[in-house]
Amino acid sequence: MIPYGRQDISEDDIRAVEAVLRSDFLTQGPAIPAFEAAIAARSGAGHAVAVNSATSALHIACMALELGPGDLLWTVPNTFVASANVGLYCGAEVDFVDIDPATYLMCPMALEAKLAQAKRAGLLPKVIIPVHFAGQAADMVRIGSLARAHGIRVIEDASHAIGASYQGVPVGACPHSDITVFSFHPVKIITTAEGGCATTNDLELARRMMLARSHGVTRDIAQMQAAEGQGGWYYEQISLGYNYRMTDIQAALGLSQMARLDAFLSRRHELARRYDSLLADLPLVRPVQCPQGYSALHLYPVQVDDRTRVFAALRGAGIGVNVHYIPVHTHPFWRARGFDWGDFPVAEGFYNRAISLPLHTRLTEDEQDQVVAALRAALQA
């Protein structure tokens, strides 16, 4: 089976992990700040906080923004369930904003209309999470200015988008948001096996996220109440936190992968351009690339008629296609919370015709030709 996505591990990556295994610290050691510094440098953000998954990063981001009971979080239906679940972790309510039919990203017009309605009803969200689906940045200028106008905080779910840029600025620099979150799951752009990171330019938000990832415990005298007269053992718990720490083993892998990020991105772009031309004469819709951005190209989603049959034909031919995403609000859990099919028709229409073709750095041109041949046969059957 040709997988839709997979990790790319080099001998250098393996040596980096091995070096940590032979060192004094498997966790809470020097590899974490080194990895965080690499992410901050690459994204141009002031601070980076590495954790054990993007889900954890989204959770501590919401905590830092003080999302809680009585608050509302909005995200898009066209995402992985974690983007919505984190609102419930904080005791907030969750709602969705439909996507743009051309880009599959949060639709600023739908957001504007929903905000106007929510304002009249006195039910504005506290936090909005646009998702950089497939590696392409959402329309952050419009989303950010709508959010600012209503006093709403913004977290960019850039799980697909490390290395992407928007209007010439790296995703993660947060010019239009409070916090950006990356994922390092093996199918994403770089990997730490499991792992994630939050970036921000706000020192106070970074400080809160660092507390939240490690039990709410601090060893920073400036943050303590009773530092005077205590010994070297002393620490204080000053808030409620979790154990969301990344290990040094993962951070070393991540740091080694960061050195390969540009090579990964250009290979993904090469393969995507190749799909663009190989698929040009087929009856399907190829993903559009927004001119104001450079996508990390996590996914190559096409839209086809008769998706379920085409999907089965491709899987039958050994092509590991996938579908991103079943709209979050249509899952049984969310329907039990009052949502239903029909609530977000653009995301549902996209889903009904979506197939993600294999796209990863180890995909060969031969394999890509097999994918295209199988797709051509399925569409002509």
Q: What sections of the chain are H helices per DSSP?
A: 11-21, 31-43, 54-64, 82-89, 108-121, 140-149, 203-213, 248-258, 261-278, 307-316, 332-335, 345-352, 365-380
Shortest spacing between CB 196 and ligand PLP, in angstroms: 5
R_g (Cα) of the chain, nearest Å: 21
Least Cα distance to 101 among 298, 274, 344, 346 occurs for 346
Among 136, 183, 295, 330, binds ligand PLP (CB under 6 A): 183
Which residue, 157 or 343, has its beta carbon nearer to ligand PLP? Answer: 157
171 binds ligand PLP (CB under 6 A): no
Which residue, 131 or 310, has its beta carbon nearer to ligand PLP? Answer: 131
Which residue, 61 or 272, has its beta carbon nearer to ligand PLP? Answer: 61
**Which of the ranges 100-108, 152-160, 206-214, 277-285 carries the binding residues for ligand PLP, by CB under 6 A?**
152-160
Site for ligand PLP in 107-146 (CB under 6 A): 131
Cis before 242? omega within 30: no
Among 114, 126, 160, 213, binds ligand PLP (CB under 6 A): 160
The torsion region of residue 148 among left (phi > 0), alpha (psi -120 to 50) and beta comes to: alpha
Site for ligand PLP in 63-92 (CB under 6 A): 79-80, 82-83
**Which of the ranges 53-61, 209-217, 288-296, 306-314 carries the binding residues for ligand PLP, by CB under 6 A?**
53-61
> Could you give the 3-state DSSP secondary structure of residue 72?
strand
CA atoms within 13 A of residue 245's CA, in its CB half-sphere: 16
Which whole-number Å values give the CA distances from 233 to 219, 224, 227, 230, in the listed order? 9, 13, 11, 8
303 binds ligand PLP (CB under 6 A): no
Shortest spacing between CB 290 and ligand PLP, in angstroms: 17
Shortest spacing between CB 180 and ligand PLP, in angstroms: 12
Transcribe 10-68 into DSSP letters.
-HHHHHHHHHHHTSS-SBSSTHHHHHHHHHHHHHT-SEEEEES-HHHHHHHHHHHTT--
Which two three-digit tokens encode residue 10?
């080099």
Number of C-beta neighbours around residue 369 at 10 A: 12
Number of C-beta neighbours around residue 310 at 10 A: 22
Among 36, 98, 139, 157, binds ligand PLP (CB under 6 A): 157
Residues near ligand PLP (CB under 6 A), total: 14
Site for ligand PLP in 200-229 (CB under 6 A): none
Shortest spacing between CB 26 and ligand PLP, in angstroms: 20
Which residue, 75 or 256, has its beta carbon nearer to ligand PLP? Answer: 75
**Which of the ranges 15-23, 52-60, 99-107, 265-273 carries the binding residues for ligand PLP, by CB under 6 A?**
52-60
Beta pairing, strands 169-170 & 179-183 = unpaired
159 binds ligand PLP (CB under 6 A): yes
Q: Where does residue 233 rank: exposed (0-12), middle (13-18), buried (19+ CB within 10 A)? A: exposed
196 binds ligand PLP (CB under 6 A): yes
368 binds ligand PLP (CB under 6 A): no
Which residue, 83 or 330, has its beta carbon nearer to ligand PLP? Answer: 83
Which residue, 157 or 178, has its beta carbon nearer to ligand PLP? Answer: 157
Exposure b/e, 50-73, CB count within 10 A at least 16 = b: bbbbbbbbbbbbbbbbebeeebbb
Shortest spacing between CB 76 and ligand PLP, in angstroms: 9
Which residue, 160 or 208, has its beta carbon nearer to ligand PLP? Answer: 160
Annotated catalytic sites, by residue? Answer: 188
Give contact residues for ligand PLP (rule: CB under 6 A). 53-55, 79-80, 82-83, 131, 157, 159-160, 183, 185, 196
